Chain A
């Protein structure tokens, strides 16, 4: 694996970079239940890494381990070449990891713009006093942050709803706003928890395009959980397949698609008469 240290071309012909995050033998328990059993995989710079698996396979738990929300009982998380000590989610955010949620978690009463601006929080340096009284550097800082927010609003084509309270938006648009907020943090790794759940075909196509564009334009590394197999196979560079908390497959979409264990997990095992 030494020759792949600086990145390589996947079996599907996509160039991906060096390892940026590594999960080493992660085990996560809730009481007596093992949600994740001894899983290891890596995330490489600039790739779209999908985690798939049937319901209850432990995908969301895995994402929560990456985001620092759960601390695994066993195993290590390595990020940018160093072992990550257990930390609070906001500390993880400061390290450049942003996420969206399966069940949208936006500030419903606030406008789209304000929601996106909250994503800039980790980039605000001025204190409470300066911000309250609009003194000193606070004004310049807000302007700079607003510029970033506006670029993202433009990028995700949500200009028309900029001043609309989130509670008035459709489900598909809320998902997009959530992506905008995550992007506003200018993350180096973006975690997407079922970005396309509950969407119609058109919304899925839009979302797929945005995910690809984000990856392409900002070079953001993306880790996503998704149920729609078509979408996963089209979007991702590499796929981790989980079933009952265990990793049963890892590789490019083509490799995974031909993996017998994966086929069995998804389609069930054929019985001979």
Chain B
């Protein structure tokens, strides 16, 4: 084939990378997916053929340059190929969150004006068909899994494989056009459009160019010395920039293999079978894994538990140092080696993390105990800080400089500055082109010189140059007495307790801080089971006096630790309630990436907040809930409002 897509400066587009890989790593595995109990795999050259067939099929269906093609479904090779095929024909792929409800979906599909939708299964097809009347530019759905769709009217439906077949048949007719369209792609053409989950307001379409994708993938791959033989497990939403950069950007740049799990439920089994060498998970996943390990150790025999405790103590003491290559005593090294044989090795294997060479976590703060637990086992878990607008990478921790309270140093090519109000700004080759059809927001976020506001407040640590993030800049407020109010800082400390799943702290402009708390049903439920405490529902467990007692002790422990921090000692929680329902994205209380929506919560639970401040001992409330199928219901409850002990600023005391 006469492709001359690779210019002197290297590949200039995602399809160009695909052609390069198909030539350079022709027979190396590019994608794997477990289906029918077996790992099916596709080499880079097979992948190229599959993508090309789909792209030709899209041409046959009339896809034009500049079209938007939405992609909805769980992580599957076919859907990654659809993104590449879209770019091949000069269209823009727009991956969507698969758990988006009809309303969210309508907004996004209408905003970008998608002509084609590639949907994973019947559920997604139904959603699109349901809202199609509100979409002016929508034309066709291409679906992957035919199950349940056989009897649908196929006037606007095509099966994925049928489109590929159509493409293969029409190869002679369209191949010249396809090559011509690919040749037009360069660093400035759009590679992908990703909708941000929108902590506030409607989602915004972040336009990323090929330059953003390739430059970021290149520098970050070099930063962590990723190899062509690496394996990654693709299980996080395809609409999220992280998955796009790891599973498409870096995978295409380095040529490593992207593995897709069989289903969401089999993720942990598949993780074990693949044993990825490069792994990303949000803190929540590490937390859940650790909780389940600890719960199982509680049930283990006494000898096993003793052995586990003994060796974990050794690991905690010397593990991180060994991982960082710092000198450790000979005897410690020997014990650690024995521990590796008896405990750490098998444990890592059970977790599916035996082969991890580079592991990342980001998105939220991770509890120091959780972070240290994994590192002490010898897993190279690190933190990074990034956002969609930066094509992920802003800062990351280099090997050997890993700590739980920073997010690392600037990535290659990134510049940082801190504004007077503490907000972090950055500039890099990864900086997004624009928010689609939203010049005002673009101008608000990115200035003329290319500096982008992160919306996060933080500071650069003197000496190490590491960045530390305190909170969202807009959430950092002032209390009535002028003290700094950083809710996330307190919430994170609360959430580090396994019993607490979610916390929301209030106090901006008030005299004291108060909090909502969600218990973690897994951890608390297990505790209840072990202590023979019966409960019929989440609500009943949440208001159990002993649970309230435990949560109170957690809150007071957090207060004691906050009191030590001079700047933030005013943020201690004076009163709190344990909520009767789990905060949920379906009810609009969290974003799809599980970030707290303060404004929505503030309005929805106004009565409870008032009770937190007016001194009443309890509050009765009725809350509307949305079920998974969109129906609405309500739950009524009476919540107990508790007072927590607060501590005086220890340092101030000492000074007086």
Chain A residues in contact with chain B, CB under 8 A?
Answer: 113, 146-147, 150-151, 153-155, 157, 159-160, 162, 209, 212-213, 216-217
Taking a contact as CB atoms under 8 Å apart, the answer to whether B265 and A160 are in contact is: yes
Q: Which residue of A lies closest to B151 (CB)?
A: A216
CB of B36 within 8 A of chain A? yes
Q: Can you identify 20 A-B contacts, CB atoms within 8 angstroms? A: A150-B36, A150-B37, A153-B36, A154-B36, A157-B265, A159-B37, A159-B262, A159-B265, A159-B266, A160-B262, A160-B266, A160-B269, A162-B37, A209-B148, A212-B148, A213-B147, A213-B148, A216-B148, A216-B150, A217-B148
CB of B4 within 8 A of chain A? no
Give 18 A-B pairs besides A212-B148, A213-B148 with Cβ atoms closer than 8 angstroms: A113-B37, A146-B37, A150-B37, A150-B38, A151-B36, A153-B36, A154-B35, A155-B147, A157-B263, A157-B265, A159-B263, A159-B266, A160-B262, A160-B265, A213-B147, A216-B150, A217-B148, A217-B150
CA distance A260 to B216 in the complex (A): 73
Contacts of B151 in A (CB 8 A): 216
Contacts of A153 in B (CB 8 A): 36-37
Contacts of A160 in B (CB 8 A): 262-263, 265-266, 269
Contacts of B150 in A (CB 8 A): 216-217
CA distance A217 to B149 in the complex (A): 9
Within 8 A of A (CB), among B265-280: 265-266, 269
Report the minimal beta-carbon distance from B400 to chain A, rounded to whole angstroms. Answer: 38
Within 8 A of A (CB), among B148-166: 148, 150-151
CA distance A154 to B265 in the complex (A): 12
CB within 8 Å: A-B pair count: 35
Taking a contact as CB atoms under 8 Å apart, the answer to whether A147 and B148 are in contact is: no
Most buried by B among A113, A146, A159: A159
- Decide: A147 near B147, CB < 8 A? Known: A159-B265, A160-B263: no
Within 8 A of A (CB), among B4-53: 35-38
Most buried by B among A113, A154, A160: A160
CA distance A155 to B36 in the complex (A): 9
SS of A interface (majority) = helix
CA distance A113 to B38 in the complex (A): 14
Taking a contact as CB atoms under 8 Å apart, the answer to whether B269 and A147 are in contact is: no
CA distance A209 to B151 in the complex (A): 14
Q: Which residue of B lies closest to A153 (CB)?
A: B37
CA distance A209 to B149 in the complex (A): 12
Contacts of B148 in A (CB 8 A): 209, 212-213, 216-217
CA distance A209 to B121 in the complex (A): 14
Report the minimal beta-carbon distance from A217 to chain B, rounded to whole angstroms. Answer: 6
Report the minimal beta-carbon distance from B412 to chain A, rounded to whole angstroms. Answer: 40
Contacts of B36 in A (CB 8 A): 147, 150-151, 153-154
Report the minimal beta-carbon distance from A55 to chain B, rounded to whole angstroms. Answer: 28
Contacts of B37 in A (CB 8 A): 113, 146, 150, 153, 159, 162
Contacts of A150 in B (CB 8 A): 36-38
Contacts of A217 in B (CB 8 A): 147-148, 150
CA distance A213 to B148 in the complex (A): 5
CA distance A212 to B151 in the complex (A): 11
Contacts of B38 in A (CB 8 A): 150
Contacts of B266 in A (CB 8 A): 159-160
Report the minimal beta-carbon distance from A267 to chain B, rounded to whole angstroms. Answer: 28
Contacts of B265 in A (CB 8 A): 157, 159-160
Contacts of A162 in B (CB 8 A): 37
CA distance A162 to B151 in the complex (A): 30
Report the minimal beta-carbon distance from B548 to chain A, rounded to whole angstroms. Answer: 29
Most buried by A among B35, B37, B263: B37
Contacts of A157 in B (CB 8 A): 263, 265
CA distance A160 to B37 in the complex (A): 10
Q: Which residue of B lies closest to A162 (CB)?
A: B37
Q: Which residue of B lies closest to A213 (CB)?
A: B148
Contacts of A147 in B (CB 8 A): 36
Report the minimal beta-carbon distance from B538 to chain A, rounded to whole angstroms. Answer: 15
Contacts of A213 in B (CB 8 A): 147-148
CA distance A212 to B266 in the complex (A): 25
Report the minimal beta-carbon distance from B646 to chain A, rounded to whole angstroms. Answer: 44
Q: Which residue of B lies closest to A209 (CB)?
A: B148
CA distance A209 to B263 in the complex (A): 18
Within 8 A of A (CB), among B237-291: 262-263, 265-266, 269
CA distance A113 to B266 in the complex (A): 15
- Nearest 10 CB-CB pairings of A with B: A160-B265, A150-B36, A150-B37, A160-B266, A159-B262, A213-B148, A159-B266, A159-B263, A216-B150, A154-B36
Q: Which residue of B lies closest to A149 (CB)?
A: B37
Within 8 A of A (CB), among B347-390: none
CA distance A157 to B150 in the complex (A): 19
CA distance A213 to B122 in the complex (A): 11
CA distance A252 to B269 in the complex (A): 45
Q: Which residue of B lies closest to A212 (CB)?
A: B148
CA distance A155 to B266 in the complex (A): 15
Q: Which residue of A lies closest to B628 (CB)?
A: A202
Report the minimal beta-carbon distance from B126 to chain A, rounded to whole angstroms. Answer: 11
Report the minimal beta-carbon distance from B586 to chain A, rounded to whole angstroms. Answer: 15
Contacts of B262 in A (CB 8 A): 159-160
Contacts of A209 in B (CB 8 A): 148
Q: Mark B76-104, 1 if CB is under 8 A from A, else 0.
A: 00000000000000000000000000000
Within 8 A of A (CB), among B536-557: none
Q: Which residue of B lies closest to A148 (CB)?
A: B36
Q: Which residue of A lies closest to B262 (CB)?
A: A159
Report the minimal beta-carbon distance from A82 to chain B, rounded to whole angstroms. Answer: 31
Q: Which residue of A lies closest to B37 (CB)?
A: A150
Contacts of A146 in B (CB 8 A): 37
Contacts of A154 in B (CB 8 A): 35-36
CA distance A162 to B270 in the complex (A): 12
Report the minimal beta-carbon distance from A32 to chain B, rounded to whole angstroms. Answer: 47
CA distance A209 to B150 in the complex (A): 14
Contacts of A155 in B (CB 8 A): 147
Report the minimal beta-carbon distance from B243 to chain A, rounded to whole angstroms. Answer: 21
Report the minimal beta-carbon distance from A142 to chain B, rounded to whole angstroms. Answer: 13
Report the minimal beta-carbon distance from B75 to chain A, rounded to whole angstroms. Answer: 15
Report the minimal beta-carbon distance from B146 to chain A, rounded to whole angstroms. Answer: 8
Report the minimal beta-carbon distance from B308 to chain A, rounded to whole angstroms. Answer: 24
CA distance A157 to B262 in the complex (A): 10
Report the minimal beta-carbon distance from B178 to chain A, rounded to whole angstroms. Answer: 33
Report the minimal beta-carbon distance from A205 to chain B, rounded to whole angstroms. Answer: 8
Report the minimal beta-carbon distance from B161 to chain A, rounded to whole angstroms. Answer: 16
CA distance A103 to B383 in the complex (A): 52
CA distance A155 to B147 in the complex (A): 8
Report the minimal beta-carbon distance from A134 to chain B, rounded to whole angstroms. Answer: 19
Report the minimal beta-carbon distance from B311 to chain A, rounded to whole angstroms. Answer: 29
Report the minimal beta-carbon distance from B271 to chain A, rounded to whole angstroms. Answer: 13
Contacts of A151 in B (CB 8 A): 36
CA distance A150 to B37 in the complex (A): 6
CA distance A155 to B150 in the complex (A): 14
CA distance A147 to B38 in the complex (A): 10
Within 8 A of A (CB), among B122-161: 147-148, 150-151
Q: Which residue of B lies closest to A154 (CB)?
A: B36
Most buried by A among B147, B266, B269: B147
Report the minimal beta-carbon distance from B630 to chain A, rounded to whole angstroms. Answer: 13
CA distance A151 to B145 in the complex (A): 13
Q: Which residue of A lies closest to B268 (CB)?
A: A160
Report the minimal beta-carbon distance from A109 to chain B, rounded to whole angstroms. Answer: 21
Report the minimal beta-carbon distance from A244 to chain B, rounded to whole angstroms. Answer: 38
CA distance A159 to B35 in the complex (A): 9
CA distance A153 to B265 in the complex (A): 13
CA distance A216 to B148 in the complex (A): 7
Q: Which residue of A lies closest to B261 (CB)?
A: A159
Q: Which residue of B lies closest to A161 (CB)?
A: B265
Report the minimal beta-carbon distance from A79 to chain B, rounded to whole angstroms. Answer: 27
CA distance A150 to B265 in the complex (A): 16
CA distance A162 to B263 in the complex (A): 12
CA distance A154 to B262 in the complex (A): 9
CA distance A178 to B151 in the complex (A): 26
Q: Which residue of B lies closest to A157 (CB)?
A: B263
